[in-house]
């Protein structure tokens, strides 16, 4: 939601305070996979560039495309090369050969695969003798680094050392909070012989898990 009038007012105020307005930064949304969102943002930035120059004599020189690029979890994304090619195309469509300076922030795409979160199974249970679903509880949950599983928005790859027959499970954290359920609708397949004390490895957890942890 890019407020062009607010951005222009801030840049004019900066000029009036004796600062030198240099560029615009925008955020397309964390884990944004839709490349067309960059197109819409760049088009709005172009409007700001033109209006400030024509109406206020302010010449901007830079666009910082903050917000980073998406990482690969279970849901795959386009390659960085694809994002770069499309962003360059969007820039040329709006700015022609008079391209501004560009800053691209890699964000989670750079560091997500640099981290593995190791958890331990603290309980494996079914809610009743006739319950179909098996619940696997681990010693980490939404409040200890996995908040991005909220609404199952990000689906981390999970690996265990156990082998054998697999069964779909619900995965939850160690608290009694009803919100501390990582995956209930999206069913992960985990080995039937998974037991208390076994380790579960959450892959691609290098981004935001430490900063989101409450302990």
Residue 199, pLDDT above cutoff 90: yes
Bridging pattern class, strands 199-202 and 117-126: antiparallel
Residue-number span of the structural domain to which 122 is assigned: 115-212
Please check whether residues 158 and 205 belong to one and the same domain: yes
Please check whether residues 94 and 9 belong to one and the same domain: yes
- Which of 110, 145, 177 is at the close of a domain? 110
Please check whether residues 77 and 147 belong to one and the same domain: no
Please check whether residues 155 and 77 belong to one and the same domain: no
Mutual angle of helices 36-56 and 4-16, in 10-degree steps: 40
Please check whether residues 38 and 93 belong to one and the same domain: yes
Q: Do residues 63 and 22 touch, judged by C-beta distance below 8 A? A: no
- Which of 86, 110, 134 is at the close of a domain? 110
For position 163, which CATH number holds? 2.40.37.10
For position 77, which CATH number holds? 3.20.20.10
Please check whether residues 133 and 36 belong to one and the same domain: no
Please check whether residues 119 and 149 belong to one and the same domain: yes
| Number of structural domains found in the chain | 2
Question: Quick one: DSSP state of residue 87?
Answer: H
Q: Among 28, 31, 115, which residue's Cα sits nearest to residue 70? A: 31
Cα separation of 158 and 34, whole Å? Answer: 25
**Helix or strand or coil: residue 36?**
helix
The number of helix segments (H) and strand segments (E) in the chain equals: 5, 9
Please check whether residues 104 and 129 belong to one and the same domain: no
Please check whether residues 96 and 152 belong to one and the same domain: no
pTM over 0.95: no
pLDDT of residue 206: 94
Please check whether residues 122 and 183 belong to one and the same domain: yes
pLDDT of residue 12: 96
Instruction: Determine the average pLDDT of the residues in 69-78.
Output: 91
Please check whether residues 54 and 139 belong to one and the same domain: no
Digit-coded pLDDT (tens) for 13-69:
999 999 999 999 999 988 999 999 999 999 999 999 999 999 999 999 999 997 789
Digit-coded pLDDT (tens) for 136-178:
999 999 999 999 999 999 999 999 999 999 999 999 999 989 9
What are φ and ψ of residue 83, in 5° steps? -60, -45
Task: Name the percent of the chain lying above pLDDT 70.
Answer: 99
pLDDT of residue 2: 53
Please check whether residues 66 and 162 belong to one and the same domain: no
- Which of 62, 79, 110 is at the close of a domain? 110
Instruction: Determine the average pLDDT of the residues in 121-143.
Output: 93
């Amino acid at each position: 939601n890019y407020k062009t009038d607010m951005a222009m007012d801030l840049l004019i105020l900066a000029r009036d305070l004796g600062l030198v307005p240099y560029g615009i930064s925008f955020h397309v949304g964390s884990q944004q996979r839709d490349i067309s969102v960059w197109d819409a943002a760049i088009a709005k930035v172009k409007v700001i560039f033109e209006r400030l120059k024509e109406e206020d004599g302010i010449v901007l020189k830079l666009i910082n495309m903050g917000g980073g690029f998406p990482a690969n979890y279970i849901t795959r994304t386009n390659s960085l090369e694809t994002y770069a090619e499309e962003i360059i195309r969007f820039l040329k469509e709006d700015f022609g050969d008079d391209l501004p300076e560009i800053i691209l922030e890699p964000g989670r795409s750079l560091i997500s695969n640099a981290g593995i979160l190791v958890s331990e199974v603290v309980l494996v249970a079914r809610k009743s003798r006739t319950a179909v679903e098996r619940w696997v509880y681990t010693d980490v949950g939404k409040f200890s680094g996995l908040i991005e599983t909220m609404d199952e928005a990000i689906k981390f790859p999970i690996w265990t050392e156990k082998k054998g027959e697999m069964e779909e499970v619900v995965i939850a954290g160690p608290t009694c909070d009803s919100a501390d359920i990582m995956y209930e609708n999206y069913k992960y397949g985990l080995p039937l012989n998974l037991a208390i004390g076994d380790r579960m490895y959450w892959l691609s957890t290098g981004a935001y898990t430490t900063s989101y942890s409450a302990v």
